[in-house]
Amino acid sequence: MSNYPKPAAATPLNPRRRGIIIGASDGIGAALARRLAHEGYTLALLARSQDKLESLCNEINQTSRELRAHVYVHDVTEYEKVPDLLRKIVADLGGLDLMVFVAGVNYPPGGIDKYNFENDRKMIEVNLIGALAWLNPVAEMFQSAKAGQMVGISSVAGDRGRVGNPGYNTSKAALTTYLEALRNRLTRHGVNVLTVKPGFVQTEMLKAAQGATPFTVPPEKAVEDIWKAMQKRKQVIYTASIWRWIMLAIQHTPSFIFRRLSF
Amino acid sequence: MEANISLSLKNFTQLENFGHSLRASSYRFRPTSVKEIEEVFRLARESGLTVTARGAGKSYNDASLNGGGILLDMSAINQILGWDAASGIVRCEPGVTLEQLWQYVEPNGWWPPVVSGTMKTTLGGCLAANIHGKNNFRMGPIGEHVLEFTALLPTGEEITCTPKTNIDLFYGMISGLGMLGVFTSITLQMKQIESGLLEVDAWPVHDLHEHLAFLLDKAPNHDYTVGWMDTMTGGKSLGRGQIHAAHYLHGKEDPNPQATMQLNNQILPPRIFGVFPKSILYLFMRPFANNLGWWGVNTAKYIASLRKHTFRQSHAAFHFLLDYVPNWELSYGRGGMIQHQSFLPKETAEAAWREMLTMSLNRGIPSYLGVTKRHRPDKFLLTHAVDGFSLALDFKVTDGNRATLSQMLKDFDRIVLDAGGRFYFAKNSETSAEAARAFLGEDTIAKFKELKKKCDPNNLLESDLFRRVFG
């Protein structure tokens, strides 16, 4: 993959933006990588699967005919490796303008009376603690630099605790709250923090979903929404956008009704 | 002290170039001693990061930026170490600015032999870029007035260079863009003056031919020459403008030199007409930073310059035009500004610049400000000088003009190279590696890389400029 020429140096007339995508091997992460590379970003792509990452990088670099995507194989639960890896990536990219945290796992317990601590723990470790491990140091960097943009992929699932998947709901609710706290810390330093709450998106994760999956969108559509929101430096978006109204209704459903529902 | 030097995310800082057109984030350290510079080198070696020294950050490009790496902010190593008012020899640390220097030596009747258009630059930066002034045709670049310097190499070695000892490194490190080592002290010869004033002659010139002819003719009889060019008018008047030529006052020409050399007669006034603070003037310039506004400014300036006249001006007022309006670069708005400066032999300059200026007017991307100077060659390794002239063109950068401006500057570079010209690494931000190879020549680059290998075998010193041009 190093056969492609290095991108031209950043100059005032050829500014380059650099981004990290954690969880880039497929789904929203991969689609976002393709889109951001198309928009001129130089990217560090992180995921566990070397094969998937390499084929994605090859595809991106072939399309752009330059070395726009770099592979870093990484498991977000290896928290202690983050500081060194982050430093290396920022040096390799020549700076950092954007941090996207997409990595997430979903293990539904498989019934409204089932519990699985191991799975719940994994979801918290990846979806929440993985985000803390990466976004904390990046927040510190962006705050010091007084510039930067962070995007966290949370979920509509974090908006309400439901009977179906308490562990996943919790991990995403915590992630949403964490991102909000970062936003409150960083906006005053010129840093934008965007929380993305997808509904159903046509990805690997959707296969785990039980029951109906209304308003499902392809990852490309979700990425289109994310890219638009990034450009406008928005704070919270739902994708598809109809979820804003659905979740508004769900959030305002009184508990005495909600706890009798079975979704 | 050493405990301070560790790679903390708190040090991560975003910095800009002079024109506010390029940003890069790095781990910034501001050492106060040579020992701490060594510590930063050690840290770089351990963490696998590169280091760029930055003085005042007044280059128009990426010379003092190092995205993702370490930035060695030299501004706190800024003591004047020794001054002999009898011989005019001064020894300074590299973070000393020209402002500090001239204010220190001028009351004793001396002036820095070469100064840039802003006094905010540091001596380390001045040597790394080997700056020139409006007297380049007479005094050469600043490097020709360096008697000695000491430097710390990334290998840990401390060296002393003079024009007679360590000659290769003397001529390589001055103009070497900070890529061979970090200056730790600089000894300079000042120029004696007999008055705090210069006598300035101002002539209008009506076209490019006359413009260059005046620069050529007036040079032998004056100490400084500089031309302003109205870059927004084409046709028969293309290249029209005004030449300023100044000379030192000698003997009785200044009846009261003690008074004119006092600092309060030199320091630029902070207010216009004694009331309007200049620190916010740039905000009022913003609405005019467009084609129409600058056409008005250029035209008005040309009409005002039609009267040939002579006046006396303080050294500081004559030299430091860029400091006259603080933060003037911010008036260009969000995209900032860039400068394209080309150095052309006197034989080919007129035709090449005629082509470039016509091109910029035809393509609707006029330069807002043009400045010309007279030059002569020098012996420094990465020299930008020629026996001829330079033309510096300022351009506003916007989201809308980046692509077309980039293409035009590529065309400019081709015209300049075809005409045997050169570029200046403190100014041009778009010079490609190919263009640099074309004007420097393979031999020069090989020699520079050989010096680099000797001084910095592990490539610890790298800037964004170095990677762009030599990477």
Residue pLDDT, tens place only, B156-200: 999 999 999 999 999 999 999 999 999 999 999 999 999 999 999
CB-closest option in A13, A137, A146 to B405: A13
The reported pLDDT for the residue numbered B4 is: 63
CB-closest option in A10, A88, A93 to B464: A10
Contact A145 B12 (CB under 8 A): yes
Give residue B313's Cα distance to chain centre.
Answer: 22
Name chain B contacts of A15, Cβ cutoff 8 Å. 22, 402
> Among positive and negative, which fits the CA dihedral B273, B278, B280, B284?
positive
Alpha helices in chain A (DSSP H): 27-38, 50-64, 82-93, 117-123, 130-145, 166-186, 219-231, 242-251, 255-258
Q: What dotted CATH number matches B76-192?
A: 3.30.465.10
Q: Is A39 on the interface with B (CB under 8 A)?
A: no
Domain assignment of residue A7, yes or no: no
Name chain A contacts of B22, Cβ cutoff 8 Å. 10-12, 15
Mean pLDDT of A208-218: 84
How far is it, in rounded angstroms, from Cα B26 to Cα B119? 26
Q: Is A231 on the interface with B (CB under 8 A)?
A: no
Using one digit for the tens of pLDDT, what is the confidence trace for A102-150? Answer: 999 999 998 889 999 999 999 999 999 999 999 999 999 999 999 999 9
3-class secondary-structure state, position A259: coil
Record the pTM.
Answer: 0.92
Instruction: Tally the residues of chain B.
Output: 471
Contact A13 B402 (CB under 8 A): yes
CA distance to partner chain A, nearest, from residue B405 (Å)? 7
Q: Is A204 on the interface with B (CB under 8 A)?
A: no
Name chain A contacts of B21, Cβ cutoff 8 Å. 12
The reported pLDDT for the residue numbered B43 is: 94
**Residues in contact with A220: Cβ distance below 8 Å, sequence separation at least 6, in sequence order:** A31, A35
**A168 given a catalytic annotation:** yes
Name chain B contacts of A14, Cβ cutoff 8 Å. 402, 406, 430
How far is it, in rounded angstroms, from Cα B149 to Cα B184? 7
Mean pLDDT of A54-75: 95
Contact status, residue B410 vs residue B356, Cβ threshold 8 Å: no
Exposure of A12 in the CB half-sphere (CA atoms within 13 A): 32
> Among positive and negative, which fits the CA dihedral A132, A133, A139, A142?
negative
pLDDT band at A213 (very low <50, low <70, confident <90, very high): confident
Q: Tokens 């190879």 sit at which residue?
A: B437
Name chain B contacts of A7, Cβ cutoff 8 Å. none
Q: Which amino acid is at B146?
A: V
Q: Which of A6, A11, A42, A135 to mutate to test the interface with B (most CBs of B within 10 A)?
A: A11
How far is it, in rounded angstroms, from Cα B98 to Cα B123? 7
Give residue B343's Cα distance to chain centre.
Answer: 14
3-class secondary-structure state, position B340: strand
How far is it, in rounded angstroms, from Cα B111 to Cα B124? 18
Q: Tokens 């709450």 sit at which residue?
A: A197
Residue A147 to residues A50, A141, B25, B197, B421, Cα–Cα distance (Å): 31, 9, 9, 46, 39
Return the exposure string of A92-114: e unless at least 16 CB atoms fall within 10 Å of the residue's CB, then b: ebbbbbbbbbbbbbbbbbeeeee
Q: In chain A, whose CA is at the least distance from the CA of B406?
A: A13
Name chain A contacts of B335, Cβ cutoff 8 Å. 12
Q: Tokens 């390499």 sit at which residue?
A: A54
Domain assignment of residue A251, yes or no: yes
Contact A14 B402 (CB under 8 A): yes
Domain that holds residue A112: 18-258
Higher pLDDT residue, A206 or A198? A198
How far is it, in rounded angstroms, from Cα B143 to Cα B148? 10
3-class secondary-structure state, position B307: coil
The reported pLDDT for the residue numbered A2 is: 55
Contact status, residue B409 vs residue B232, Cβ threshold 8 Å: no
Q: What is the CATH number of the domain that holds A79?
A: 3.40.50.720
Contact B402 A96 (CB under 8 A): no
Mean pLDDT of A156-178: 96
Contact status, residue A52 vs residue A160, Cβ threshold 8 Å: no
**A172 given a catalytic annotation:** yes
Exposure of B422 in the CB half-sphere (CA atoms within 13 A): 20
- What token pair was written down for A221? 């559509």
B197-435 architecture in CATH?
A: 2-Layer Sandwich (3.30)
Domain assignment of residue A6, yes or no: no
The boundaries of every CATH 3.30.70.2520 domain in chain B are 197-435
pLDDT band at A218 (very low <50, low <70, confident <90, very high): very high
Return the exposure string of B388-427: e unless at least 16 CB atoms fall within 10 Å of the residue's CB, then b: bbbbbbbbbbeeebbeebeebbeebbebbbebbbbbbbbb
The reported pLDDT for the residue numbered A1 is: 45
CATH class of domain segment(s) B2-75+451-469? alpha beta
Q: Is A135 on the interface with B (CB under 8 A)?
A: no
Question: Cis peptide before B300, with omega less than 30 degrees from 0?
Answer: no
Q: In chain A, whose CA is at the least distance from the CA of B19?
A: A12
Q: In chain B, whose CA is at the least distance from the CA of A93?
A: B68
Q: Is B406 on the interface with A (CB under 8 A)?
A: yes
Q: Is B14 on the interface with A (CB under 8 A)?
A: yes
Q: Is B467 on the interface with A (CB under 8 A)?
A: yes
- What token pair was written down for B379? 């012996």
CB-closest option in B11, B24, B406 to A13: B406
**Residues in contact with B98: Cβ distance below 8 Å, sequence separation at least 6, in sequence order:** B112, B115, B116, B118, B119, B120, B121, B122, B123, B126
Q: Which listed residue (A172, A178, A197, A238) is catalytic? A: A172
Q: Which listed residue (A72, A114, A168, A232) is catalytic? A: A168
How far is it, in rounded angstroms, from Cα B450 to Cα B169? 11
The reported pLDDT for the residue numbered B280 is: 87
Contact A9 B21 (CB under 8 A): no
Contact A12 B21 (CB under 8 A): yes
Q: Tokens 């800037």 sit at which residue?
A: B463
Q: In chain B, whose CA is at the least distance from the CA of A142?
A: B12
Contact status, residue B263 vs residue B314, Cβ threshold 8 Å: no
Q: Is B411 on the interface with A (CB under 8 A)?
A: no
Q: Which amino acid is at B272?
A: I
CA distance to partner chain B, nearest, from residue A132 (Å)? 16
- Provide the number of structural domains found in chain A: 1
Whether A180 shows a pLDDT value over 60: the answer reads yes
Establish whether this prediction's ipTM goes over 0.85. Answer: yes
Contact status, residue A53 vs residue A73, Cβ threshold 8 Å: yes
Contact A10 B24 (CB under 8 A): yes
3-class secondary-structure state, position B123: helix
Residue B10 sits at the vertex; the CA angle it makes with A86 and B65, to the nearest 5 degrees, is 75
**Torsion of Cα atoms, B436 then B438 then B443 then B444, to 10°:** -30
Q: Is A85 on the interface with B (CB under 8 A)?
A: no
Q: Collect the ranges in chain B with pLDDT lower than 50.
A: 1-3
Nearest in space to B25 (alpha carbons), one of A143, A233, A232, A135? A143
Name chain B contacts of A139, Cβ cutoff 8 Å. none
Chain B, 126 to 165: residues with Cβ < 8 Å from chain A are none
